[in-house]
């Protein structure tokens, strides 16, 4: 059966023209991106915290959450740079379930990419315009990056995508730091190979163009834990894991070695409430070993207004409909703790 053509989607330029960002927001983004880049270049010793809902499924809820985040950011700005995690595309292990606001702008209704792509940009725009905080999203569909490239401050390539050639070479042309997660089976060599590929320049096809990239030297590692052959979760944020990855980084001779620790997923053994404990253990490793302090640049946390998760249709404001998140109160306590101890 052939593919059924449903709706002609706007080009990235068309969507940008219809949903523009202001000059003030653009300038604020530029300033913040330089701060983020300085962390990964080793110029700044600030700590980066990528934090927010597992999936940004509701514009009002995400904006209400980010408003709280922005207030705390002002209090901890001398120590921590916060990047709101606004994931509008969600990978699904079996391709079942909610796939993000870009695919399904209303979780209670059928998929609609024409409206979804608008909602995706509108949400990222609102966060930048209202709070002057460039956002983080996952590069799940490489061709989507162009629709929001003028808004994002950080990009992640997920565990299921990190081996994909297109993800690697598109990352080489992105102008903000890109984190490569280790694959679900845990191989750090796959992750490091992906970083090496993205740090090189390429010539390739992208959105109906032949394009050229110079390489993204701020591509780096994200440790998210693994799943072994028996389906058991295996964390990889421990001191020994960090030391081993630092050694492997040296062997690969990559630019700007850096690690972000994802405190959820397999690192938390799927126990979302363990994220604050894991964050604190990572800080202990940083205090104990200067080499770890130099290379572990920050954390990734799944957090929302309400802790836990809900099913689609329950409609609890500010509660995840995908992976469970820690609550805002727990998140706030954690941010203050990080600011005092990084």
Summarised one tens digit per residue, pLDDT across range 13-35 is 999 999 999 999 999 999 999 99
Q: Does residue 122 belong to any structural domain of this protein?
A: yes
Q: Does residue 3 belong to any structural domain of this protein?
A: no
Query: Is pLDDT of 104 > 80?
Result: yes
- Count how many domains the chain has: 1
What integer pLDDT is reported at residue 50 of this predicted model? 98
Q: Does residue 6 belong to any structural domain of this protein?
A: no
Return d(Cα 306, Cα 325) in angstroms, integer: 8
- CATH at residue 64: 3.20.20.70
Tokens for 131, please give them.
């709070």
Q: Does residue 114 belong to any structural domain of this protein?
A: yes
Return d(Cα 265, Cα 283) in angstroms, integer: 19
Query: Is pLDDT of 237 > 90?
Result: yes
What integer pLDDT is reported at residue 1 of this predicted model? 63
Instruction: Tell me the C-alpha to C-alpha distance, in Å, between residue 207 and each of 88, 115, 145, 166.
Output: 20, 20, 10, 12
Query: Is pLDDT of 152 > 90?
Result: yes
Query: Is pLDDT of 261 > 70?
Result: yes
Q: Does residue 305 belong to any structural domain of this protein?
A: yes
Of residues 236, 140, 137, the one with CA closest to residue 188: 236
Q: Does residue 244 belong to any structural domain of this protein?
A: yes
Do 262 and 286 meet the contact criterion of CB atoms below 8 Å apart? no
Instruction: Tell me the C-alpha to C-alpha distance, in Å, between residue 204 and each of 138, 194, 201.
Output: 21, 16, 10
Q: Does residue 5 belong to any structural domain of this protein?
A: no
What integer pLDDT is reported at residue 288 of this predicted model? 95
Domain range spanning residue 201? 12-341
Residues counted in the chain: 342
pLDDT tens digits for range 30-70: 999 999 999 999 999 999 999 999 999 999 999 999 999 99
Within a 10 A sphere around the Cβ of 50, how many other Cβ atoms? 24
Q: Does residue 309 belong to any structural domain of this protein?
A: yes
């Amino acid at each position: 059966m052939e593919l059924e053509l449903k709706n002609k989607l706007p080009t990235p330029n068309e969507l940008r023209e219809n949903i523009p960002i202001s000059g003030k927001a653009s300038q604020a983004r530029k300033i913040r991106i330089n701060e983020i880049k300085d962390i990964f270049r080793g110029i700044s010793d600030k700590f980066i915290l990528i934090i927010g809902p597992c999936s940004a499924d509701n514009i009002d809820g995400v904006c209400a959450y980010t408003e709280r985040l922005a207030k705390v950011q002002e209090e901890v700005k001398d120590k921590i740079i916060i990047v709101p995690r606004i994931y509008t595309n969600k990978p699904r292990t079996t391709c079942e379930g909610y796939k993000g606001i870009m695919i399904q702008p209303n979780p209670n209704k059928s998929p609609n990419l024409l409206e979804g792509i608008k909602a995706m940009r509108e949400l990222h725009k609102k966060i930048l315009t209202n709070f002057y905080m460039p956002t983080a999203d996952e590069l799940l569909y490489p061709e989507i990056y162009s629709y929001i490239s003028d808004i994002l401050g950080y990009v992640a390539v997920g565990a299921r995508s990190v081996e994909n050639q297109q993800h690697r070479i598109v990352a080489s042309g992105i102008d903000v730091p890109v984190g490569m997660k280790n694959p679900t089976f845990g191989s750090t060599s796959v992750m490091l190979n992906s970083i090496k590929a993205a740090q090189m320049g390429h010539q390739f096809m992208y959105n109906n163009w032949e394009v050229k990239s110079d390489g993204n030297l701020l591509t780096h590692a994200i440790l998210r834990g693994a799943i072994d052959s028996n389906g058991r979760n295996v964390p990889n944020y421990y001191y020994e894991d960090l030391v081993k990855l630092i050694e492997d980084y040296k062997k690969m001779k990559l630019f700007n070695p850096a690690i972000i620790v994802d405190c959820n997923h397999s690192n938390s053994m799927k126990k979302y409430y363990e994220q604050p404990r894991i964050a604190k253990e990572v800080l202990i490793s940083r205090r104990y070993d200067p080499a770890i302090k130099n290379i572990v640049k920050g954390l990734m946390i799944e957090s929302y207004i309400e802790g836990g998760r809900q099913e689609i249709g329950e409609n609890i404001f500010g509660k995840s409909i995908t992976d469970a998140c820690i609550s805002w109160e727990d998140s706030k306590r954690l941010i203050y703790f990080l600011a005092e101890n990084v």
